[in-house]
Amino acid sequence: MKKNKIQSLNKVKSRIRAKLRGTAERPRLSVFRSNENIYAQLIDDIEGKTILSSSTLDKDIKTIIKSGSNCDASKLVGESIAKKSLENKIDKVLFDRGGRLYHGRVKALAEAAREQGLQF
């Protein structure tokens, strides 16, 4: 019997999350990609709180982009989350790709965050 995509994605996601635990000093950069948008969060897993977030639905990014489902939009989200984190004196994070392949929009977000000075 063949598993569907959501079940296999959740299985990979749970394996990744079992190994990654974000702290206040080194939070987890979690990436969620939908068909229309991309979201990034810095999460402190010990306290269970989101420190920062950025997405293609943010006002400053939404006015610039034509569509939230391409690599250019992902680059803007990566730059935005990196700038916000560096303003809050967070320069090291753990990257959580959310079960997705490190390819396309997820890769574009990660590389843009690295170019802005975020280390992972």
Question: What pTM was estimated for this model as a whole?
Answer: 0.89
Taking CA atoms, 49 is separated from 28, 35, 41, in Å, by 11, 26, 10
Task: Give me the pLDDT at residue 19, please.
Answer: 87
Domain ranges of the chain: 5-115
The fold of the 5-115 domain, in CATH, is Nucleotidyltransferase; domain 5 (3.30.420)
Task: Give me the pLDDT at residue 22, please.
Answer: 87
H helix intervals, the chain: 5-19, 59-62, 71-87, 105-115
Asked if residue 1 has pLDDT above 70, the reply is: no
Task: Give me the pLDDT at residue 4, please.
Answer: 87
Task: Give me the pLDDT at residue 74, please.
Answer: 97
- Which of the four pLDDT bands, split at 50, 70 and 90, describes residue 2? low
pLDDT tens sequence across 5-20? 889 889 999 999 888 8
